[in-house]
A and B are shown apart, each in its own frame.
Chain A
């Protein structure tokens, strides 16, 4: 996977030189090791700033909404599914896009590595299977499979679903994974246990809305939490309001969430917010056989009616 960068730069250079796109959205090195930031390359001479490694965890689809120019974009499996979401929701046109697919073997959890390493990390290197970090006079090597982000470890769509160019060969999809073990554990709790579980989980939430801001699905011009006429939800960090925010946000993402993990990565308090969106993902799969972002021609289950739709909880 690490070798994709030559191909990515080559394609980006070609697209810009031939003026097929006005810019290429990709990743460049961030200010710290193991951090990348999104970048918009508009001039052919700047393609060298593009990088690719196991830290390209940001979902670039979040930068496409309502763009007017022609765009080249690097897309992992999850990014490509979010691009399809945008196509379905008319946030961008397919003709505007040249999608550079990056078959993905998972991004690594930099917070987990920093925690296990216990020192400031000054240097980072990776091979196909191993991650090596250096700092404070020591170094440590991790197996990549042990430090994957949780959503990458249980990912079942590693290959881009839609693409025009490929940065490398398609990878094998994971088939023997249990995506919803954690959700089933919560579902099996009794009603008070559930309540207390989420009460405890959300007790540290500071309502910074980083999860919403990072999410490629959350593009409403005015979010329901920011409305004041009417005010749908209290703005303090009262536990009831915090809970309302998180559950309502999850409902807004029902049938749309691709489990890219942007929300959870953005959370400064390390709240596992994917437990909300994943539950609705599971319900969509169980009830409608639906996974988001796989087919631009198909309407999502929540905006279609079928006579045989399941009547959950209806009298």
Chain B
């Protein structure tokens, strides 16, 4: 995705077991923080009129 021109911080991969609640929280916090820092997406966005 980075090769295509999508910011690396927009896409996250993680492996979280159902027993790892605290890891899940950390990952979600990290994901939301890094996506918020980038602001709204401008790439790969379709106008709502186009899809509805």
Chain A contact residues, CB within 8 Å of chain B: 186-187, 191-198, 234, 238, 240, 243, 247, 279, 313-315
Contact = CB atoms under 8 A, between A and B. Distances in A.
Interface string B18-51: 0000000001001000000000000111100010
Contacts, number: 42
B7 A191 contact: yes
20 contacts: A186-B3, A192-B5, A194-B2, A194-B3, A194-B4, A195-B5, A195-B6, A195-B43, A197-B5, A198-B4, A238-B46, A238-B50, A240-B44, A240-B45, A240-B46, A279-B3, A313-B8, A313-B12, A314-B15, A315-B14
A240 B50 CA distance: 11
Contact of A187 (B3, B6, B12, B15): B3
A217 B3 CA distance: 22
Contacts of B43: 195
Contacts of B11: 313
A314 B13 contact: yes
B2 A191 contact: yes
Interface SS of A by simple majority: helix
Interface SS of B by simple majority: loop
B12 A315 contact: yes
Nearest to A196: B5
Contacts of A196: 5
Nearest to B5: A195
Interface of B: 2-8, 11-15, 27, 30, 43-46, 50
Closest 6 CB pairs of A and B: A195-B5, A194-B5, A315-B14, A314-B13, A313-B13, A279-B3
Nearest to B7: A191
Nearest to B51: A234
Nearest to A315: B14
A288 to B, nearest CB: 17
Contacts of B7: 191
B1 to A, nearest CB: 8
B14 A314 contact: yes
Contacts of B6: 191, 195
Contacts of A198: 4-5
A279 B5 CA distance: 14
A279 B30 CA distance: 28
B4 A243 contact: yes
A243 B4 CA distance: 9
